[in-house]
Homo-oligomer: A and B are copies of this chain.
Amino acid sequence: MSAIAALADLTNHQVCLASRPVGLPTRANWTFSSEPVAAPGPGGVLVKTLYLSLDPAMRGWMNEGKSYIAPVELGAVMRAGGVGQVIASQNPAFAVGDYVNAGLDVQEYCLIAQDQLKRSGMFRIDPRLGLTPWLNVLGMPGMTGYFGLFDVGQPKAGDTLVVSGAAGAVGQTVGQLAKLKGCRVVGIAGGQAKCDWVVNELGFDACIDYKNGDVKAGLKEHCPKGVDIYFDNVGGEILDTVLTRISRGARIIICGAISQYNNTTPVKGPANYLSLLVNRARMEGIVVFDYADRYPQAVAELAGYLKAGTMKSREDVVQGLDNFPEALLKLFNGENFGKLVLQVASE
């Protein structure tokens, strides 16, 4: 039986966007469908999905309207990055058995035509560092943290950095990198377990439990000289509170606003934004795709830290494509502990 013939026996289960959610997405917003697996054409590659990256940004892709990327169309397979294994290839750059990171979408198999390879961002990964870290510190969140911190935040040794979503994918990257660069690092996370982990395992100087503590008092205690860099993943009240504690010339990196993504009311703007004026401070947005040319350099640096044990990468793995709708919600209630990934298949 040829490899191509074997492919014809496979079914590709997919999760498609059925309707645009109002507020939190529910199972009713998704349809499950399937199709036969097709063989790649000349220059194309077929990838078996192993792990998918579940990210706050997905909520934005489900909305209509202009953003930094087109919305997922109704009826289309939901967009997702992932790691997988090449199981058929007509492209000399990728061999059967290669592990890759790419835009695979929420499905079991992803057929990528030659002219879509670049758009998919597909690149080979080194499985010796594990697979899930390639969706975390070595993946998009890691790149986001790396370039947001260094290019926008411009940390100097001795700066005080605060990062929200501290135990999340971007947060753990940012905090650990800032520690390596000599900053004082204070996390904000939900629950004692996450706070303990970023302090005890990742080496943050302190972590404020926003679910059980007073963020303003925590900032006052742990950032006595004010906040020089705030890496914001959450928006809302926490952003507004940090704004009251920034120091002169502070840099605020606007990476996301997970507290606002499921609003059915308008986004809450930062009422304390005039603190930017008083403190001659800056608030700047970052979109990771702008740094694509420099990913290899950042990945090499971060992989070096992981290998040396000077950085850690923690993922929260949920099993099964069928559980995608509920797994995604873990992000929005803060249930995930570490980078949230969905395991779709075993190697």
Contacts and interface: CB of A to CB of B under 8 A. Distances in A.
Interface string A138-178: 00000000000000000000000000000000000000000
B273 A269 contact: yes
Contacts of A257: 274, 277
Contacts of A287: 277-278, 280
B285 A278 contact: yes
A277 B277 CA distance: 19
Chain A facing B: main interface SS = loop
A274 B56 CA distance: 14
Interface centre among A271, A272, A277, A280 (most CB of B within 10 A): A277
Contacts of A298: none
B267 A271 contact: yes
Contact of A256 (B240, B277, B281, B284): B277
A17 B78 CA distance: 62
Given A267-B271, A270-B273, A283 B280 contact: no
Contacts of A235: 274
A66 to B, nearest CB: 8
Contacts of A283: 273, 276, 282-284
A260 B270 CA distance: 14
Interface string A260-300: 10000011111111111111111111110010000000000
Nearest to A270: B269
Quick one: copies of this chain in the complex? 2
A86 interface: no
A278 B240 contact: no
Interface in A47-99: 66-68
A280 B286 contact: yes
A91 B260 CA distance: 60
A175 to B, nearest CB: 20
A271 B268 contact: yes
A254 interface: yes
Interface centre among A254, A268, A281 (most CB of B within 10 A): A254
A240 B283 CA distance: 15
20 contacts: A66-B278, A240-B269, A254-B276, A255-B277, A260-B274, A267-B271, A267-B274, A268-B271, A269-B271, A269-B273, A270-B270, A275-B285, A276-B283, A276-B285, A277-B287, A279-B285, A280-B284, A280-B287, A281-B285, A282-B284
Nearest 9 CB-CB pairings of A with B: A269-B269, A277-B285, A276-B285, A269-B271, A282-B284, A269-B270, A283-B283, A68-B278, A254-B277
